[in-house]
Structure 1
Amino acid sequence: MSDHYYSQKPGVKHNRQVHQDELCGFTLKFVTDAGVFSKSGVDYGSRALLNALELAPSANVLDVGCGYGPIGLTAARLAPQGRVTMIDINERAVELSKENAALNGISNVEVLQSDLYESVGGRSFDVILTNPPIRAGKATVHRIFEEGYELLVPGGTMWVVIQKKQGAPSAEAKLQSLFEEVEEVSKDKGYRIYMAKK
């Protein structure tokens, strides 16, 4: 269990790599490492989420389970007058996200180590983005939805990417039980992108 990407301190040996990627028209560089999600490059689900995403330029955004930062850092570029808070339980992922923000000259971000939302309790956000840690189990994914709902401003939105075969129908049902409005924004190779509005 010690080397899951959702563990607090990955036990696996470091294997740092640098990848360059084009996301939403921005060229970004990412340092990745063993023990974090999708270490060999930006995963398809995160790309699908970013391709569907609509953000106001001044949005106050929370990226839940940020990994080494592709979603949050791209969001920071999409919302240059806004602010993006990036959280992850994995301390290695948190350090990489900080490093990648600096590497790409992105300053409108804050990266915090957080077990789910513990580091951002009491704050509120316009938008929550998540490519949830499916392997952490349905209970964890549902907590991301439930507790995230509480942190959104009225009219705020949560954007979720999830594979159909990894529980998209139950995720959609859970979102519908919490949010006033849930829309399947796009389907992409088995991935579903949901936008849930408070």
Structure 2
Amino acid sequence: MSEHYYTKKPQTASDRRAIEVTLRGHRLRLASDAGVFSRDGVDYGSRTLIDMMEFRDDADVLDVGCGYGPIGLAAARLAPRGHVTMLDINERAVALANENAAANGIVNAAAMQSDLYEAVAERRFDVILSNPPIRAGKAVVHRILTDARDHLREGGALWIVIQNKQGAPSAKAKLQEVFGEEAVEEIGKDKGYRIYRAKMV
């Protein structure tokens, strides 16, 4: 069985590649590598979240499970007067995310190695974004959803993308349990991917 991306220190041999993508009208050149999520190109779920996410241009944003950085870096372009903190348990992904920020001249984003919210335990944000690491298991995914509430400011929102067949209904139910039914909205869907927003009200 091959090693998956939800690991602190990938043992898979490095196999770097360059990806050129346009996300929300911004052209980015991203470095990717073996042992990180979706290393061959930005996955459809992440693209769907990027296309639908909305927040103020001065928002303080957290990207949980950032991989090599496409969601967080796109967010940084959408919030030029704000800041994006990117977290991943995978040290190779964190290094790539920081490298990609620098290579694209994005100065308002930085990545840190963290097991979920560990590195930002005392911090709160205006926005939390996540394409949850499904292969890490339901317990990890649900921790991202439940613990988000402790890291959002009043009026803040969690945005997640999740596939129907990979647990969208149970994720929505968990969000409603944590945030309240009225606070959870399906923002959109595309090819089986659903975008949920849960607001602090």
Q: Same fold (TM over 0.5)?
A: yes
Q: How many percent identity over aligned positions?
A: 63
CA distance in 2, matches of 1:109, 1:120: 15
CA contact (8 A) 2:66 2:93 kept: yes
- How many corresponding residue pairs? 198
Residue aligning to 2:14: 14
Q: In the alignment, is the contact (CA less than 8 A) between 2:101 and 2:110 conserved in 1?
A: no
Cα distance in 1 for residues equivalent to 2:51 and 2:20: 17
Task: String of CA shifts for 1:145-189, please: whole Å, max 9, x gaps.
Answer: 111111000111000000000000000000000114000000100
Unaligned runs of 5+ in 2: none
SS state at 2:174 partner: helix
1:196 to 173, 195, 198: 198
TM-score (norm 1): 0.98
Does 2:125 match 1:125? yes
User: Residue 2 of structure 1 contacts residue 11 of structure 1 at CA under 8 Å; is this kept in 2?
Assistant: no
CA distance in 2, matches of 1:3, 1:106: 31
* Secondary structure in structure 2 of the residue aligned to 1:148: helix
Verify: 1:184 aligned to 2:167, yes or no.
Answer: no
* CA distance in structure 1 between the partners assigned to 2:194 and 2:36 by the alignment: 23
Secondary structure at the aligned position of 1:156 is classed as strand
Unmatched tracts of structure 1, length 5 or more: none
Distance across 2 between alignment mates of 1:150 and 1:110: 21
- Separation in 1 of the partners of 2:55 and 2:146? 22
Corresponding residue number in structure 1 for 2:75: 75
Q: Alignment partner of 2:123: what SS?
A: coil
- Across the aligned residues of Structure 1 and Structure 2, the Cα RMSD in angstroms comes to 0.9
In the alignment, the residues of structure 2 paired with residue 22 and residue 104 of structure 1 have an alpha-carbon distance, to the nearest angstrom, of 12
Distance 1:2 1:116 in 2: 22
CA distance in 2, matches of 1:2, 1:123: 35
How high is the TM-score relative to the length of structure 2? 0.97
Post-superposition offset of 1:16: 0.2
Runs of 4+ in structure 1 off by over 4 angstroms are none
Deviations 1:60-97 (A, max 9, x none): 00000000000000000000000000000000000000
CA distance in 2, matches of 1:43, 1:66: 12
User: Match of 1:24, as an amino acid?
Assistant: R
Secondary structure, aligned partner of 1:51: helix
Q: Distance in 1 between matches of 2:59 and 2:2?
A: 35
CA offset at residue 3 of structure 1?
Answer: 2.4
2:39 corresponds to 1:39: yes
